[in-house]
Structure 1
Amino acid sequence: MALLPTGSFTNIPWTTTLQGVGQDARERLWSRILKELSRQAKEPLTHLAVNEGIPLHKAGGEAEENVLRSPSGLRTFYGDFGPTSTSTEGPSQQDFDSTLWVSTKQNGIFQTWAPRWTMFSRGNVKEKARLLDMGDTVKGGNQDEKWAVDLYAGIGYFVFSYARLGLRVLCWEINPWSVEGLRRGARANGWSVRIVQGDDLTLPEEEILSGEEQIIVFLESNEEALRRIQSLQAQGTARDVRHINCGFLPTSEPTWRHTWDMSASSSETRLHLHENVGANDTETRRSKIQHIFDGWGEDTGRAAEVEHVELVKTFAPGVWHCVFDVRVYNI
């Protein structure tokens, strides 16, 4: 698939040219563009679309927030991208099978997604690489007992970096299309994966983990994550959590208290808290986050330090997508 930048074909002379020709001529044009682009691609390109920003609200003029981050503004030009709608109960296996799935490779890791149904943020490649460079944070202890948690798993953006480091990963995601992309991507990279959904969500946590899969994905709200993790920790599992990822914009703050509690049984955990922050406000926000965690650490024998602020990419003029690395440790 060729995914062109936002705004492609919306300016003169494209608009006047396209208005003056029929559908057959347009099809020939799109086919020719794909043919020319294929000369530089590793594989023939069969589909053409134009990327657009992820809308804040659901399609159709509804005021409800687009919490699934569905790319409803995607403009498709050539090729079959699959069904445009699914049942109210969510996508079926037939929907998955009839949808276009594409893959790319970043940092030597495959990622897979359905362009009609899930976003792909190529700008996160630097943050994925940064996590891969944190091998020193997973040294020591029993390798089979080291864990990471991703509370906004998506298609596995950061999940796969933790898996590459050798950690077992507990994930939460509410978009079934993202979960299916994560499953396919994990398989492509050679990692075992279990999707926990439907009736399986009522199973005891120890039974869910009994298969020893490296990646376990709960298709449910991350509001359930703390309860599940504390249940596992009470049974002696997932007590050594090395990393917790909170990759939600514009802010992941609603999950921060839970990350503090999830890390209670670990001697040292690194939290990666994603935020959109004004370009001149990063140090102010850093101090605020430090103050929040200092309050939680009082009289607990634990402490936290905002040890790094990573500027991932510009989100909008004057706004940075930042990651605040918070090291939580025993005193």
Structure 2
Amino acid sequence: MLSRAPPQKRQNPIAAAVSSWLQHVEPSLVEPSTGAQLVEKAPKRWVVYEPMVLLPSGSFTSAPWPALLGCLGAAQQALLWEGILQAISSASAKAGPGLTHLAVNEGIPLHVADPQHEQQTMPTQTENLLRSPSGLRMLHGDFGPAGSQLSATSSQTDFAAALWVSTKQNGIAQTWAPRWTMFSRGNVKEKARLLGFHSELQGRRLTHRHRSRDELRDKWAVDLYAGIGYFVFSYARLGLRVLCWELNPWSVEGLRRGAKLNKWSVRVVRGGDELSSIPTAELVAGLDEQIIVFLEDNMEAERRVAEFRASGPTLDVLHVNCGFLPTSLPTWRPAWAIQTQGRAAADGWLHLHENVGIADIEHRRKEIQAVFDQWDKTAESGANSKRANVELVELVKTFAPDVWHCVFDVHITDSRVCNEGRLT
């Protein structure tokens, strides 16, 4: 009987590209043993966000890579980066032939240099509220001109000159400019959970959550940290209309483009001093878009929702999302007000995002419950009083060793609703 030879293991595309490229490097720069080290220390993983390939943090920084790259000109380095893009394109049928940009993901810094003091010898650091990916190492391709994403005056000309990449998660398209905007793959689990939040499957465990598609019609979600539409799009897929807030104009543009890709109508309302005195109802008068995003500080959200309700339209808010890490605490009180004041719904949910040590999750749940219990007592006014119950803690992903990105689901009901979620 003839025996078949075992199938040969395919070489990693990046390793193959590096091996091929090394054959064209000046031999005096690379000894045989060094060549093997270079292949071994090349990155093994990547993510495709068409037309960009994103390599993991630290790629090409381990010896002997820095010494070799420092001896080479831009043209020789470009041959390496182009070879890697071609190898990944050939190895992945999903990637297709159009991969043109290569970058290294160095994470999102918690603090960045204050642009008002960046010329100083010791520039002032400020919190990176916009989650700017300032550590992105762009290896190959034109990512667009440098500039300040902090400016709310970024124009369509700026947006048109930038590189925009895209991906799909849970069948929903998202797009962003990687030079100016972050993208978190790890949120995919929480996005999927929201998509199934009102399904019969989840309703078997928490029966008061189940809603039919017809029941969700004309309901609203509010997202206080919209970003490029991470959770906004999950609510839109459920059929909800969405009011959302975002400070970063590049994220708002990504949200706008992403909504269009998914065929959802969207309107951007630019905030600022010139609009602060204009009633919200007047700003959105006649708008019937499914997604309305305010390019302004989310501390304006409570006021705007109150004004909107006071003008007459029903704003039946079912969800308020507070998706900021390491804590969304500054938005809890506004979120509570949005969910409980004025023409509020009979019940709804706040989704509070926190980074919590694994051993402290239950303690943190009790702390959050105590906060809302106190607000319950403060706000009691007969039949209009509200109740809050931290009914579930969802562990989304690990943020650091023994630290989890958690979402605390706070179910809010009025005084007529009992624990099972039915009117008494």
Given the two structures, how large is their TM-score scaled by the length of structure 2? 0.75
Q: CA deviation at 1:314?
A: 1.1
Amino acid at match of 1:68: L
Structure 1: tracts of 5 or more residues without a match: none
Give yes or no for contact 1:81–1:99 (8 Å, CA) kept in 2. yes
User: How many angstroms apart in 2 are the aligned matches of 1:7 and 1:150?
Assistant: 34
1:74 aligns to 2:136 (yes or no): yes
Amino acid at match of 1:164: R
Deviates more, 1:315-324 or 1:174-183: 315-324
Q: Partner residue of 2:421?
A: none
Give yes or no for contact 1:271–1:325 (8 Å, CA) kept in 2. yes
1:26 aligns to 2:89 (yes or no): no
1:239 aligns to 2:312 (yes or no): no
Give yes or no for contact 1:245–1:271 (8 Å, CA) kept in 2. yes
Give yes or no for contact 1:147–1:238 (8 Å, CA) kept in 2. no
For residues 218-256 of structure 1, the C-alpha deviation after alignment (integer angstroms, 9 at most, x for no partner) is 000011000010111223335311100000111111111
Percent of pairs identical after alignment?
60
Alignment of 1:251-290 (within 5 A): 251-264=327-340, 265-290=344-369
Amino acid at match of 1:179: V
User: How many angstroms apart in 2 are the aligned matches of 1:213 and 1:203?
Assistant: 20
Which structure's relative contact order is higher, taking Cα pairs within 8 Å and 6+ residues apart? Answer: 1
User: How many angstroms apart in 2 are the aligned matches of 1:202 and 1:163?
Assistant: 29
Going from structure 1 to structure 2, the CA distance change for 1:85 and 1:310 (only over 3 Å counts) comes to same
What SS does structure 1 have at the residue aligned with 2:134? coil
Alignment of 1:85-124 (within 5 A): 85-86=147-148, 90-124=153-187
User: How many angstroms apart in 2 are the aligned matches of 1:123 and 1:238?
Assistant: 35
What SS does structure 1 have at the residue aligned with 2:321? strand
1:204 aligns to 2:279 (yes or no): yes
Cα root mean square deviation, aligned = 1.8
For residues 91-119 of structure 1, the C-alpha deviation after alignment (integer angstroms, 9 at most, x for no partner) is 22111000000110000000110000000
Q: CA deviation at 1:296?
A: 1.1
Q: Partner residue of 2:230?
A: 157
User: How many angstroms apart in 1 are the aligned matches of 2:402 and 2:243?
Assistant: 34
User: How many angstroms apart in 1 are the aligned matches of 2:183 and 2:288?
Assistant: 29
Give yes or no for contact 2:227–2:248 (8 Å, CA) kept in 1. yes
Give yes or no for contact 1:145–1:238 (8 Å, CA) kept in 2. no
Q: Partner residue of 2:95?
A: 42
Within the candidate set 404, 413, 417, 1:320 is matched to 404
User: How many angstroms apart in 2 are the aligned matches of 1:245 and 1:236?
Assistant: 24
Q: Partner residue of 1:217?
A: 293
Amino acid at match of 2:268: I
Amino acid at match of 2:251: S
Amino acid at match of 2:53: A
What SS does structure 1 have at the residue aligned with 2:244? strand
Going from structure 1 to structure 2, the CA distance change for 1:209 and 1:166 (only over 3 Å counts) comes to farther
Within the candidate set 258, 262, 269, 1:185 is matched to 258
Q: Number of paired residues?
A: 331
Deviates more, 1:278-287 or 1:38-47: 38-47
Give yes or no for contact 1:86–1:95 (8 Å, CA) kept in 2. no
Give yes or no for contact 1:197–1:220 (8 Å, CA) kept in 2. yes
Runs of at least 4 residues of structure 1 off by over 3 A?
86-90, 136-144, 198-204
Q: CA deviation at 1:179?
A: 0.2
User: How many angstroms apart in 1 are the aligned matches of 2:266 and 2:213?
Assistant: 25
Q: CA deviation at 1:145?
A: 2.6
Within the candidate set 378, 389, 394, 1:305 is matched to 389
Give yes or no for contact 1:170–1:217 (8 Å, CA) kept in 2. yes
- Structure of greater Rg: 2
User: How many angstroms apart in 2 are the aligned matches of 1:2 and 1:306?
Assistant: 40
Q: Partner residue of 2:57?
A: 6
User: How many angstroms apart in 1 are the aligned matches of 2:352 and 2:129?
Assistant: 18
Amino acid at match of 1:55: P
User: How many angstroms apart in 1 are the aligned matches of 2:324 and 2:148?
Assistant: 25
User: How many angstroms apart in 1 are the aligned matches of 2:308 and 2:291?
Assistant: 15
Q: CA deviation at 1:260?
A: 1.2
What SS does structure 2 have at the residue aligned with 1:211? coil
For residues 120-170 of structure 1, the C-alpha deviation after alignment (integer angstroms, 9 at most, x for no partner) is 001100000000001344548765530000000000000000000000000
1:57 aligns to 2:111 (yes or no): yes
What SS does structure 2 have at the residue aligned with 1:295? helix
Amino acid at match of 1:275: E
Going from structure 1 to structure 2, the CA distance change for 1:106 and 1:296 (only over 3 Å counts) comes to same
User: How many angstroms apart in 2 are the aligned matches of 1:51 and 1:67?
Assistant: 19
User: How many angstroms apart in 2 are the aligned matches of 1:283 and 1:315?
Assistant: 17
User: How many angstroms apart in 2 are the aligned matches of 1:117 and 1:35?
Assistant: 26
User: How many angstroms apart in 2 are the aligned matches of 1:262 and 1:63?
Assistant: 33
Give yes or no for contact 2:152–2:249 (8 Å, CA) kept in 1. no
For residues 39-87 of structure 1, the C-alpha deviation after alignment (integer angstroms, 9 at most, x for no partner) is 2143321100000121122245432111111011100000000011149
Amino acid at match of 1:224: E
User: How many angstroms apart in 2 are the aligned matches of 1:69 and 1:35?
Assistant: 31
